[in-house]
């Protein structure tokens, strides 16, 4: 983990209250696995005090640029959305990321994203296809106004979109699409809200499944207990999402 100042190259709204920020700097050379995240300091003022953890969506090593996607849902992310051309204090890359090395060429990976859990799938999809893995994407959103990254995913493989209210794509949830389209896969990799991860674990936990957890975070480096997640029935068995994850094998976390 390193700390550096990156330049905000661009910062624009790509769906309803969903922003894409492109950051540039030497730190980008240290990114390794898709699914890692950055911890961004949103302001130098006393409040909002905390950094914001944002998944890495896309990395361009040729120009030292990295993209992150976020939804404005409070003061901190509103302040982030106003940044353009300035420098921003960044900790990262943090976390373990998805296990691209373990997935063999010729296998089929099902990539499932929900809402702001979709972004890390883009870099993941790129890395998997580069090594000869077939990818299928299933993306879930609340409504048409929330949909983003469909075209980016289509560039790498078949892509299905579900919206809860049926205003775009198929009506329903990602699990409905997987079942109705009878999608076949060797490994499932997912990032999104806990209810979605829980449903995937319940239905496909007998297969090889990796889940990236979206927990609230404080320090982002293992020093507080803001992001703990139980690993079993006992309250004393837990992992820290920021340090031990955010990606876990499905059987490693209790949802």
Binding region for ligand FES (CB under 6 A): 217-220, 222-227, 240, 242
Cβ of residue 246: shortest distance to ligand FES, in angstroms? 10
Least distance in Å: CB of 72 to ligand FES?
A: 21
In the bound state with ligand FES, the residue whose beta carbon lies nearer, of 137 and 240, is 240
DSSP state letters, 128-192: HHHTT-EEEEEEEESSGGG---HHHHHTTSEEEEEETTSSSSEES-HHHHHHHTT---SEEEEES
As measured in angstroms, the least distance from the Cβ of 242 to ligand FES is 3
Q: Which residues neighbour 76 within 8 Å (Cβ) at sequence distance 6 or greater? A: 42, 43, 48, 50, 52
Closer of 38 and 219 to ligand FES (Cβ): 219
Closest CA to 107 of 187, 182, 208, 181: 187
99 or 218: whose CB is closer to ligand FES?
A: 218
Closer of 48 and 218 to ligand FES (Cβ): 218
Nearer to ligand FES (CB atom), residue 54 or residue 199: 54
- Minimal distance in Å, beta carbon 133 to ligand FES? 30
- Do 255 and 198 form a contact (C-beta atoms < 8 A)? yes
User: From the CB of 70, what's the least distance to ligand FES, in Å?
Assistant: 17
Letter string b/e over residues 58-84, b meaning 16 or more CB atoms within 10 A of that residue's CB: bbeeeebbbbbbbebeeebbeebbebe
- As given in the structure block, the two tokens for residue 7 are 């330049």
């Amino acid at each position: 983990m390193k700390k550096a100042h990156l330049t905000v190259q661009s910062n624009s709204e790509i769906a309803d209250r969903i922003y894409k920020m492109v950051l540039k700097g030497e730190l980008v050379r240290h990114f390794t696995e898709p699914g890692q995240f950055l911890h961004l300091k949103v302001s130098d003022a006393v409040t909002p005090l905390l950094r914001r953890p944002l998944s890495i969506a896309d990395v361009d090593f040729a120009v030292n640029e990295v993209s992150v996607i976020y939804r404005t849902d409070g003061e901190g992310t509103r302040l982030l959305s106003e940044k353009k051309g300035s420098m921003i204090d960044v900790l990262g890359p943090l976390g373990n990321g998805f296990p691209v090395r373990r997935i063999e060429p010729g296998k089929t990976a099902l990539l499932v994203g929900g809402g702001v859990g979709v972004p890390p799938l883009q870099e993941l999809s790129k890395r998997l296809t580069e090594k000869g893995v077939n990818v299928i994407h299933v993306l879930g959103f609340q409504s048409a106004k929330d949909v983003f990254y469909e075209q980016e995913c289509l560039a790498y493989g078949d892509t299905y979109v579900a919206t809860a209210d049926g205003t775009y794509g198929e009506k329903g949830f990602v699990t409905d699409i997987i079942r109705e389209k009878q999608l076949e896969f060797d490994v499932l990799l997912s990032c999104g809200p806990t209810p979605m991860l829980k449903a995937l674990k319940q239905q496909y936990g007998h297969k090889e499944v990796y889940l990236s957890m979206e927990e609230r975070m404080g320090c982002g480096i293992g020093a507080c207990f803001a992001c703990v997640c139980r690993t079993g029935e006992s309250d004393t068995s837990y992992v820290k999402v920021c340090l031990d994850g955010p990606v876990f094998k499905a059987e490693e976390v209790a949802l």
